[in-house]
A = this chain, B = another copy of it.
Amino acid sequence: MNRSPVEEGCLERIRPGEEERGLICDMASALVREVDDSGFAKGMIVGSVARNTWISGDRDLDVFMLFDPSVARGELEKKGLALGRDIATRFGGEVVEKYAEHPYVNTQINGFDVDLVPCYNVDSASHIQSAVDRTPFHTRYIRDRVRDLTDDILLLKQFAKSCGVYGSDHMTEGFAGYLCELLVLHYGSFDDVIRNAALWTPGTIIDIENHRAKDFDEPLVVIDPVDPERNVASSLSLRKMSEFSVFCRDYISNPAKEFFIIPEQKKISRQEFNDEIRRRGTYFFAIVFENPDSIPDILVPQLRKSLRSLESLFGRNDFRVLRSDCHMGDERSVLLFELIDEELPPVMKRAGPPVWNRINAEKFLRKHLGHTFSGPYIEGGKYIVEVERRHLNVLSLLKSPEFIESGFGKNVKESIESEYSVLRNEEVWNGDISGFLYDYIHKEPANVRILQNRI
């Protein structure tokens, strides 16, 4: 293996040492034994620890409790939770119940973040009853093939993390750990992933087992080796795929160590932010409300949907949006809009039906006759009127009933209905979101950030 000093240096930092390895294996074995000894289920370590692909310092330990498929679903949930709770308590951890596709137990033991997850021990991936049942198959598939590719996988994961494209959660929409592992298996090494991904275009398909059973729309398609109907990269956004591809290109021409260093979150000061507003000349509006009582994987997609709905509300009212973004803080969520227009003239143009659509055209004509700035007149075969605009400024729109009804997700809507505030320009900044606002203003993908520091 012919690694660059930068890659070797990275590996020295992120490869778990003997001691860490020992600690984690001891902990894992102890937990698996507890599950086995219960008699209810078979214990299995899944995730990066089981695959030997965890990065030094990671403290996530996923313990699956495999129940026989003959156990009824309700029974599995009950027994799974009870067993999880029991084991957590025995190891001195506090029990937190969580929910993915079914309930599971999360706990902290000796500095490890341990998930105790019940699932069915099916004999083939085609017999799974829920997504968690698939995880053991992923673990076995990778474990059996990882051999001497461990370092390559570690490098790729660290590269993706540093560049901000690691994680398949809804906030990141990036590369899952399993996806990184498959890419290394498929291309053969970290270097080969970099060289190939640098040439990716949307529509790239990777099918290691050559068993794809359907078509996919996503920009990158990586067929799951244990399920021919599943795209492992389904949650990867076009943006994160493009960024990764560009990072690979830039890493080839400029293999800087910064590509493996997770940058610290920078913050923008109140003064700097206010200076930026003035310099840009745009209008910042933040809609702030309390976080609904739901997990990020439910709330974040709702925030995204809210952004899109409000962008179209702004558009319908002729306020142009330069950019928008959302942020889920510890207590409050923020929908941030940067607008090109804050005030609009009273007159607006409204198109009616084609005049050939006689009944509606007549209705439109009668409705507007005598109440227009100009018209009704005919343009392109349609009646047009120039009438009074409803919302002359952004604040009027953001305090209107249309705003509330513009199409937020369920939980976001409930929270906004109970209370929301609208902050404008200088009012937007506060310490809690100074990192989010820094990222919004600078908006640099990793390659640009790295180039900026060097040029």
Contact = CB atoms under 8 A, between A and B. Distances in A.
Contact of A344 (B318, B340, B381, B445): B340
Interface in A367-389: 369-370, 373-381, 386
A346 B276 CA distance: 11
Contact of A376 (B239, B340, B346, B448): B448
A356 B239 contact: no
A375 B448 contact: yes
Contacts of A374: 323, 441-443
A238 B346 contact: no
Contacts of A452: 369-370
Contacts of A208: none
Interface stretch (A101-109, A223-231, A277-285, A400-408): A277-285
Given A246-B355, A369-B455, A239 B379 contact: yes
A82 interface: no
A30 interface: no
A381 B442 contact: no
B202 A365 contact: no
What secondary structure prevails in chain A residues at the interface with B? mixed
Contact of A238 (B202, B370, B381): B381
Given A347-B322, A375-B443, A381 B239 contact: yes
A243 interface: yes
B381 A202 contact: yes
A445 B322 contact: no
B245 A386 contact: no
A443 B249 CA distance: 58
A444 B279 contact: no
A365 B448 contact: yes
Contacts of A201: 356
Contact of A242 (B341, B345, B381): B381
A71 interface: no
A193 B381 CA distance: 20
A340 B442 CA distance: 30
Contacts of A442: 374
A443 B358 CA distance: 21
A284 to B, nearest CB: 11
A279 B346 contact: yes
Nearest to A368: B448
Nearest to A241: B381
A239 B443 contact: no
Contacts of A341: 341
A6 interface: no
A443 to B, nearest CB: 4
A239 B378 contact: yes
Nearest to A343: B281
Interface string A312-326: 000000101011000
Contacts of A347: 279-282, 322
Interface in A102-160: none
A355 B380 CA distance: 38
A246 to B, nearest CB: 5
A173 to B, nearest CB: 13
A349 interface: yes
Contacts of A444: 375-377
Contacts of A379: 239
A402 to B, nearest CB: 20
A378 B451 contact: no
Nearest to A347: B280
A202 B355 CA distance: 10
A243 B451 contact: no
8 smallest beta-carbon distances between A and B, as pairs: A281-B345, A280-B347, A374-B443, A201-B356, A281-B346, A282-B345, A377-B443, A242-B355
Interface of A: 200-202, 219, 238-239, 242-243, 245-246, 249, 276, 279-282, 318, 320, 322-323, 340-341, 344-349, 355-356, 358, 361, 365, 369-370, 373-381, 386, 441-445, 448, 451-452, 455
Given A238-B381, A281-B346, 6 more contacts: A246-B355, A249-B358, A280-B345, A280-B373, A322-B347, A386-B443
